[in-house]
Structure 1
Amino acid sequence: MNKMKLALVATGAAVLLSNTALAQNIAVVNGKPVPQARVDALVSQVAKQAQPGQPPMTAEQKAELQKQARDQVVLREIFTQEAQRRGLQKSPDYLQQLELSRQGLLIRALFQDEEAKRKINDTDLKAEYDRLRAQADAKEYRARHILVETEDAAKKLIAQLKAGAKFEELAKKNSKDTGSAENGGDLDWAAPTNYVPAFSAAMVKLQKGQLTDEPVKTENGWHVIRLDDVRETQFPPYEDVKPQLEQRLKQVRSAEFVEDLKKKAKTDYKFSTEQQ
């Protein structure tokens, strides 16, 4: 009798475990179960790709994402089974791509692990903010320019401007810089370091409202420059740029990590590492 009871209990447990396993599967394709875990992994991957500051998904959006993920996972299983039926998993190209994918996943895990070990705190961010602020130019300039192909063309424009022509109109008609031409040559507020040296050197010598007496040559062509205004640099508040600072520091630390690993590795290159 006791043996019979044990057998019944064992049978019941097996059925329960079987039902639990089935509940964890979203489908069965040609006899092969497709686990819910694949859906969860795909949803998690999509969530990680969300942009910083993006609002959280609504309940409806989450439900739709789950549905799309389930459909995608089942379809992938169908495709995978067909590829295996054709023996494609044995092809050299597949095996090579598989190895590259394996390396890619490991490398991503490595950088995530390194980032977790070197967490960026407020002290780091404020130090970077102060460093960038100290390096910033003291003044910003608002200038206009007209960019043309030749020095003669630039000289003619300067003569017209000195004779009373409007800078904005000449810029719209003649400037090769299409980005600023429509705005009458306006370059908006910018630090001198935003421009090539020859341009910024000529610009900072001007007084408000003054025009360059001679054309300015750069690799882009010949410029006629007018300085409209000057102001103290408007450096953004710390809280406004905190996300960008964090992203910048992550990139800097990532680059340092790469260089450190390259230095530590005993690598015998079989090719030239010099740039052509």
Structure 2
Amino acid sequence: MKPVRMSFLFIALFSSGGVVHAADVARVNGVGIPEIKVEQLLKANPGLAGNPQARQAAITNLINTEVVLQVAKKKGFNKKSDVRAAIEAATRQILVNAVTASYLEERPVSDSAVKRRYDELLKNMPEEEYRVRHIMVGTQEEAERVLNKVEGSDRAFAEAARQSLDSTTAARAGEIGWVLPTALFPEVRVALAKAGKDKPVIVQLGQGWDVVELMDTRKAVAPKFPDIKDQIRVQLQNEAIQAYVNELRQQARIELAE
């Protein structure tokens, strides 16, 4: 699972305050924008590092965000129940991502493990590849709302995918792309095979919920190791996280309401 990369707006929603510090790079209606926010943006968006105007672009985005944020607060959007629920769900997912990222950092997937999995995939390679798209959300209720909204509509799926907690695929209308079924979580693979093409379904994973859809299939061609090694590494990381979550569940005292 890749950590979710926060947008300029989302970072500002959680870090904006009313105290003006000496290290402020700008002020918006008296509200200071501290230097640390600029540093956080540049660190969270490595693609900006090579841009000579990156710092000014970050400051401009922070100013734009603060202007909109002040309007949101003035109109009371931060007190609306649906907005507060969305913020809470996003906060929970960010904390989950922080824990899992730390876990993987302490237990990195080795190159030899990636190569062993590649050899296993070739030995057991299926005849078809799947073209898959998905929308990651924080709760089952959100997944059900998204499913009702996107069924039968490519446009609705693409629009809903923009809010996906998986920021990488959110920018691609939710598309994961062409993958071998064996590269997917078993729960996802089984659900897609059962549903068939163009029928989004809800799948619960250890750290969240997915609305996932099989867009198309084609005859599988054996991929070369350099082309698939990163994908395999992500799969092994996901499996490690799933095992970690299962271990935490076994250690926890869980009481289900009757």
Q: TM-score, normalised by structure 2?
A: 0.47
Q: Which has the larger radius of gyration?
A: 1
Q: TM-score, normalised by structure 1?
A: 0.44
Q: Per chain length, whose mean CA-contact separation is higher, i.e. which structure has more relative contact order (CA < 8 Å, sep 6+)?
A: 2
